[in-house]
Structure 1
């Protein structure tokens, strides 16, 4: 904190100091990313509020960190634009709106004063509320509103430094009150994750203001993990064994493990979500890499390929993919972009007529820029977007304002809803009529999902332990057990109704052939009068995705 003697002296903040505050705020969000993720009400692998807010802010700060502008207003405007394009998930979209409102309040001010900051914080809250169709109190919206009001009440009495201190205090108090306003937070015993994220953003700004300059002054390397383009910079030294595996219960951070892997190979990717660490490395001796992984947890989904033998086949596939992309870019009528993860699901959607499948979904929410790039790859003037995940819908809605194309978003919350919507897709029809028909069809499908718990919790008197298998019916936890096949059968008992006749199962990447065949046998015996369809979806996170119609 600032020494008492300096609080009254810091009456304005210039552009360079404001940039430092934003950089530090980004680093603070990175430090608390997992802590915020763990505030997720449901114990399932999620889109991760902390991750989405951090990646959104990272993208925003990249837009300003190298600017030489000496105006706080210009920096704030660039920040808002970067946040918009980098926004991921619901929390990221709301954060981008908060930053847009902050920019509106700052206006063209060259320096930040208490009055300017108060206007920015108040307009940030107003902008966020406007962006949400049905605002819910006890969330990040409430926290931003409380902070904005408090800032306006004190703007005439305090310096900008003192005002920011009070804003942080108000955010802390407001976050602690969120369970009193939202019953599901109280039941889960957590505060609102988005509100906590906003509190930490303001805390980061304050830390940046009080810093003596000894801070990380770049966001490079902090903005997410990008897989290198295999067509660029390929040399013979890269050939060896492509080694991939997952460490469950990982007792090491991704950056630390990457340092360890540096001595074994290159093209290293290590991405951690909760206690799951996914690893990719090109190594001459994969056995040594696996030994290192065993030191920090249980290994699963081990995949080793001889890259020299696979090189020609991969080049062939890349060429075929490029040809396919070019063909997709010459469509007439209406094109469709669908969000999905898993080779099987990608194939299914393309067979149904989807023009472009964007990798993403649960725990992998695409950014607005990702979606916009995807829309641009569909060379039609009319595009339908299928988000296929509730946390991607609000991101997809932003695309309408960012392109000259006519865009309709079908608010599909699940993969089965997306598949069902495509049954009514007519590429030659009227965009309004086609999208309306697709939206109506979505309501006739029921979705079940089999996943796992990432933490201990209690929901509606149900005791849940970490690693329990969970059965979700329309997103609600209805089954808890220790076997994903049994969970599937138990969940179907809850889902199937008298008029239903079709059960479709999309099998995830972690399910063995033996388990899949055992499930098929059980389904055929129990639901002998039903049509049963089984597809290899290859999706992560979900052992099975279930559709009942």
Structure 2
């Protein structure tokens, strides 16, 4: 593999790692969001932008994406008098994807950053920290009078200080630890630069998001798993009381935040003219333009005004309007909601050991409680609780010790962090699926300590195979298994093993493929697109293949879990 291809693969790996790591911090970033509006969406917007970029560079480009890509590729190639390198081409595709993926103010800034990275790579002979300067300049270009103490400040500090500390000939990859430290210090300083942050007891959420992206990229360089590496969490001071005061004070003014409005405009006008026409209509205006196509973000009291103004100039599409006043009220309600301790009440089991599990699906949670769990925390593949939420639940329990089952590898590090902070002795058993956790709950002994239970249950974990059956989100071909978008696929312990025309056919084949007939027990949980009314018909279908289910050692239950039509545990001694 030549160096160009290696550099391209390196950037792709770093970007993918950042997307995964950022997903685990969405709520932490959201919880700090007070500027320019306390609408609790910075983390969501940044993640949706990053995720859509990842999808955008892996699928075939749309016609509009291809036009922007080809126009910029050809223009740059003419300037350089050569074809783009693999690394330059990937950075261009990332920027084009970000152009259409950008969500909210923070997503718009990210799109400018990736445009700057592309420009920096094509104007520098070395892949070094000087690229950050171009990224910063591009981000600042859309905000001529930026407010200090924001995401832009962190980007500026990152670029300026990284260049000041740089050593000639040292690559940007070798500078990452220094870059992360610069970002951390800059994020820490934001409350001193912006009074609304200081009064609310938070750092800037967008700046924190930039820091998380850098930390996620660095994990790829150090060959650490972004799904399991410890989180880097920041929390509002005083449990968010400052944010609550901010929103209540705003409500007393009877003013409204207005609407976050975004759209794509195809027009022959200049970016300067578009900026002039829209700037007087609203605030937080951000325009990203390329060859007659503009991505516009603006906060306006009346979203119809910027949209109508744009319609006068060209063709408007991909319109998104979000009521920021409602979002701020939702954030206030989140602050007012009783924490997990209050929701669950106190759990006092005296001098025995408590069992706490994380799971989603009403049937699944009820099953866990019936099988021995004292408390079940809502969690799943796309609903990961924060350290604080898990800690609140742990502190609601009075017991000699607590055994905590994360039941998901993406939640394991969060569970460990909460366990370290708890006053009670908490031991985390690293269960990677709710079905593993369920078998462990059956064998759990409250009369033994959490540590002894943990040591005993390791063998139980190893006896469980987990089958997940769900519709493919996109067309795939992995491990010799191919499936079209929407076609049922089966995974065995995180490995794709089968696809089929129907989920029932796939259920039978998956059980057979894992040697289910020779196992001690098979338990099937229905969820996702199925409900309790489907139990009888599915039982009949399984009996046509395996005979009497009780004799075959197969149990069928409604789990109500999201994402998966069937979750199947195959237990063998």
Tell me the TM-score range normalised by the shorter chain: 0.3 to 0.5
Decide which structure has the larger Cα Rg and report it: 2
Q: Give TM-score scaled by structure 1 length.
A: 0.47
